[in-house]
Amino acid sequence: MTDFTMKKDAEGVAIITWDVPGKSMNVLSLDGAAALNGLIDDALADDAVKGIVITSGKKDFAGGMDLNVIAGMRAGGAQGVFDGVMGLHQLLRKIERAGMDPKTLKGGKPIATALPGTALGIGLELPLSTHRIFAAENPKAKIGLPEIMVGIFPGAGGTTRLVRKLGAMGAAPFLLEGKLSDPAKAKAAGLIDEVVADPVAAARDWVLKATDADLVKPWDAKGYKMPGGEPYHPAGFMTFVGASAMVHGKTMGVYPAAKALLSAVYEGALVPFDTALKIEARWFTNVLLNPSSTAMIRSLFINKEALEKGANRPDAPDQSVKKLGIIGAGMMGAGIAYVSAMAGIEVVLIDNSQEAAERGKSYSTGLLDKAISRGKSTEDKKTELLSRITPTTDYAALAGCDLIVEAVFEDPAVKAEVTKKVEAVIAKDAIFATNTSTLPISELAKASARPDQFIGIHFFSPVDKMALVEIIKGRETGPLAVAKALDFVRQIRKTPIVVNDARFFYANRCIIPYINEGIRLVSEGVNPTLIENAAKLMGMPLGPLQLVDETSIDLGVKIAKATKAAMGNAYPDGAVDEVLFRMYDQGRLGRKSNAGFYDYDDKGKRGDLWAGLATEWPQSEAQPELTEVQHRLMFVQSLEAVRALEEGVLEDIREGDVGAILGWGFAPWSGGPFSWLDMLGAPRTVEIADDLTAKFGPRFTTPQLLRDMAAKGDSFYGRFGAGKKAA
Ligand code: NAD
């Protein structure tokens, strides 16, 4: 069986159906492209064929390129990538020209695409090369070019065609932000042509009626002008100058794909269409060979998906949650209730008072009302979802719950009491999870009569927005509890990582040193603007001072006090506390008090860094080099990630990388801390860490693992990659 098959009917329409055997979603492979090429040649050469319709045998059209093809092209080096891409260009250009005479533009055969559902990446680039695109009335379908999200850009003509179709400004959200649209919105934006009940029938009718003029793309017609103007047109000039600054401002220059995309668009706009395709192919080759795109595809696509599909799930029968009990209807409990009810799970939401439990439920009401006002939900859906959440103070209502998530105050005594009360009423085989962010799971499990069924499920705030969930195994946690947690996370469509129990688990363990290093730099008299910009220029979405404002300074104070109590004399962060406590004493608690390291206006909009920082911690005359500040901020997180691996808290570097990007925004362009250190190479990493240790102290001490790797010429992905366990 091949990926594409063709049927010719009596009226002369050849229907080409894309249906990759054994997959639920079509992806384009090299063999697939060759098969399509052969069918197109056949149909164009066959006098009995009047027109062609390309469609899918699945519920969707296609999800994109087979990533193995991309990996295969890479293996052939620059020439391999370029030749591979040019091969695709030739195929799509053949479809676009459809056998017409290039001079008179007459005599071609009409080719239309019929999209039953989602069409992404090459799944839209192929339709864009045809003469008309029909999509089914399927509001769940997603149409767009999401390549930029994994560090590449549409390189099979999507970039060149879309810019020529919509103009640089019109194409920008689709190319630069990877914006996806449902069919109706895709039509309104000009991505596709028609939305109909039966796209194959409509496409068939259309190809039978199409005229020569219908087949000529605007850019192949005489006198074509790019919508919005080309780069030397006054309006176009404004767009291109603005776009360059805007993209650089948003990406801080660290995302090679965004820069390359812009170059392909600008240079392509100055030349004829076929030359533009060649330019697009060159820039695509450049990006594909950049280590950032390799790392981004690996972490944000391949490994993220592998983790979501249960790469580290113990072998156990399906543990999907049917009825969930949540104890504590505060900020976290309310968010967990919402995402669970969204996933169709029945929820019992318990708090100390009925009023507090109701308040927790009303959080869902608020989110749903907002979604309705934006046209993203309906009153019916709201009613249905809210009916799944039962707010109560009565623990007896927990009967029948197969999973409990406890999200009460961060106090071991309160948590112990709750654990006991819950276990008294739930079934013997139910799993109990705690959402603690700082307390060791194995300690909390001491309150449980069944510690093998006790586990940490650590959500990030706000629960409805944050994609990562950290699952923590206590010393005695058993495989069924892990399977339950993973199946629950899959139900609510988030990405899990599974780690072992240690202070702050994985994410907080790395993020706290990042925040602390930023604060320490303030205490040393380093210009706060330099601190924030150094982080952002490395691709961190938030500087450390902005991050502490967001998470709140009183939380920082609380954590500092608890850590100090636990560590005693070994506590290393006195300089940090001095700043943190002084901010706290002045009531500057961060965003929540409208005052922190930054100033905020009455509406809570963040302004400049607080001018008072300069008087509280006068800036020193000699400011450090940018690179030194960047090394401090990045190494302090990355070395902690390496230590987590070395100590067996992390068992899989894929989780370390995916968790870092989704959990605290670790420079996504790098693919995560392990990918980043692999780019630097172990010898250079050791050199920098040794230098930082000598200058700034033992928090930068080089882990032995890195020294071993440097001595053996190892990389993290070489040593621990794809399925190779660390411990
Ligand atoms: P919160 O103060 O907003 O909510 C706690 C809720 O628990 C309150 O509504 C309180 O009335 C209720 N509660 C307290 N004792 C109870 C009891 N005995 N029985 C029933 N209900 C009780 O706190 P939160 O921010 O939602 O945090 C809850 C837990 O989640 C904590 O363990 C916290 O460390 C953890 N956590 C918080 C965050 C965050 O960013 N806030 C992130 C991850 C994890």
Per-domain boundaries in the chain: 4-289, 323-502, 508-626
Query: What pLDDT does 724 receive?
Result: 54
Per-residue pLDDT band at 150 (split at 50, 70, 90): confident
Residue nearest to atom 8 of ligand 1 (CA): 330
Ligand 1 centroid – CA 472 distance (Å): 18
Task: Out of 3.40.50.2300, 3.40.50.720, 3.40.50.11540, 3.30.70.20, select the CATH number for domain 323-502.
Answer: 3.40.50.720
DSSP code string of 32-74: HHHHHHHHHHHHHH-TT--EEEEEESSSSSB-EE-HHHHHHHH
Atom of ligand 1 nearest to the CA of 360: 9
Query: What pLDDT does 727 receive?
Result: 40
In this structure, are residues 131 and 110 in contact, taking their beta carbons and an 8 Å threshold?
yes
User: Is the CB of 85 within 6 Å of ligand 1?
Assistant: no
Cα–Cα distance, 610 to 596 (Å, whole number): 7
Cα–Cα distance, 581 to 699 (Å, whole number): 21
**Residue 432 scores a pLDDT above 90:** yes
Instruction: Provide the annotated active-site residues.
Output: 458
* Mutate-to-test residue for ligand 1 from 358, 408, 465, highest number of ligand atoms within 8 A of CB: 408
Atom of ligand 1 nearest to the CA of 406: 29
Per-residue pLDDT band at 8 (split at 50, 70, 90): very high
- In total, the chain counts a number of residues equal to 727
Query: What pLDDT does 726 receive?
Result: 46
**Residue 642 scores a pLDDT above 80:** yes
Ligand 1 centroid – CA 388 distance (Å): 21
User: Is the CB of 441 within 6 Å of ligand 1?
Assistant: no
In this structure, are residues 484 and 498 in contact, taking their beta carbons and an 8 Å threshold?
no
* Mutate-to-test residue for ligand 1 from 326, 355, 435, 438, highest number of ligand atoms within 8 A of CB: 435
405 forms bridges with which residues in the sheet? 326, 433
CA-closest candidate to residue 181, choices 154, 146, 150, 130: 146
User: Is the CB of 504 within 6 Å of ligand 1?
Assistant: no
Per-residue pLDDT, averaged over 356-382, amounts to 96
What is the distance of C-alpha 188 from the center of its chain? 26
- The 3-state DSSP class for residue 94 equals helix
Per-residue pLDDT, averaged over 193-210, amounts to 98
Atom of ligand 1 nearest to the CA of 356: 9
Query: What pLDDT does 28 receive?
Result: 96
CB-based burial label for 140 (10 Å; 0-12, 13-18, 19+): exposed
Query: What pLDDT does 207 receive?
Result: 98
Ligand 1 centroid – CA 328 distance (Å): 6
Here the tokens at position 73 are: 């092209």
> What class does CATH assign to 4-289?
alpha beta
Query: What pLDDT does 66 receive?
Result: 85
Cα–Cα distance, 426 to 404 (Å, whole number): 9
Per-residue pLDDT, averaged over 413-436, amounts to 97
DSSP code string of 133-153: EEEES-TT--EE-GGGGGT--
Per-residue pLDDT band at 235 (split at 50, 70, 90): confident
**The model's pTM:** 0.90
Q: Per residue in 559-587, is it b (16+ CB within 10 Å) or e — as a string? A: bbeebbeeeeeeeebeebbebbeebbeee
Cα–Cα distance, 554 to 602 (Å, whole number): 21
User: Is the CB of 551 within 6 Å of ligand 1?
Assistant: no
Per-residue pLDDT, averaged over 385-413, amounts to 97
Give whole-number Cα distances, 678 to 85, 404, 545, 701, in Å: 28, 40, 28, 18
The mean-pLDDT minimum among 195-204, 224-233, 411-420 falls in 224-233
Q: Calculate Rg over the CA atoms of the chain.
A: 28
| Dihedrals phi, psi of 326, to nearest 5 degrees | -120, 125
pLDDT winner (highest mean) among 65-74, 224-233, 440-449 = 440-449
User: Is the CB of 409 within 6 Å of ligand 1?
Assistant: yes
Per-residue pLDDT, averaged over 59-74, amounts to 87
Query: Mean pLDDT, the chain, as a whole number?
Result: 95
**What percent of the chain clears pLDDT 90, i.e. is strictly above it?**
88
> What class does CATH assign to 508-626?
mainly alpha
User: Is the CB of 435 within 6 Å of ligand 1?
Assistant: yes
User: Is the CB of 470 within 6 Å of ligand 1?
Assistant: no
Per-residue pLDDT, averaged over 645-659, amounts to 97
Per-residue pLDDT band at 722 (split at 50, 70, 90): low
**Residue 561 scores a pLDDT above 80:** yes
Query: What pLDDT does 721 receive?
Result: 79
Work out the angle between the directed axes of helices 544-551 and 507-523 (0-180°, nearest 10): 120
User: Is the CB of 350 within 6 Å of ligand 1?
Assistant: yes
**Residue 509 scores a pLDDT above 70:** yes
Here the tokens at position 251 are: 């990406």
Residue nearest to atom 30 of ligand 1 (CA): 407
Query: What pLDDT does 488 receive?
Result: 98
DSSP code string of 488-557: HHHHTT-EEEEEE--TTTTHHHHHHHHHHHHHHHHHTT--HHHHHHHHHHTT-SS-HHHHHHHH-HHHHH
323 forms bridges with which residues in the sheet? 346
* Mutate-to-test residue for ligand 1 from 437, 438, 468, highest number of ligand atoms within 8 A of CB: 437
Ligand 1 centroid – CA 417 distance (Å): 14
Per-residue pLDDT band at 723 (split at 50, 70, 90): low
What pLDDT, in 10s, does the model give residues 78-94?
A: 999 999 999 999 999 99
Ligand 1 centroid – CA 427 distance (Å): 24
What pLDDT, in 10s, does the model give residues 247-269?
A: 888 888 899 999 999 999 999 99
> Which helix (H) or strand (E) element contains residue 347?
strand 346-350
Cα–Cα distance, 39 to 481 (Å, whole number): 52
Ligand 1 centroid – CA 504 distance (Å): 17
What pLDDT, in 10s, does the model give residues 20-47?
A: 999 999 999 999 999 999 999 999 999 9
What pLDDT, in 10s, does the model give residues 600-633?
A: 999 999 999 999 999 999 999 999 999 999 999 9
| Dihedrals phi, psi of 52, to nearest 5 degrees | -130, 140
Ligand 1 centroid – CA 411 distance (Å): 9
Atom of ligand 1 nearest to the CA of 459: 43
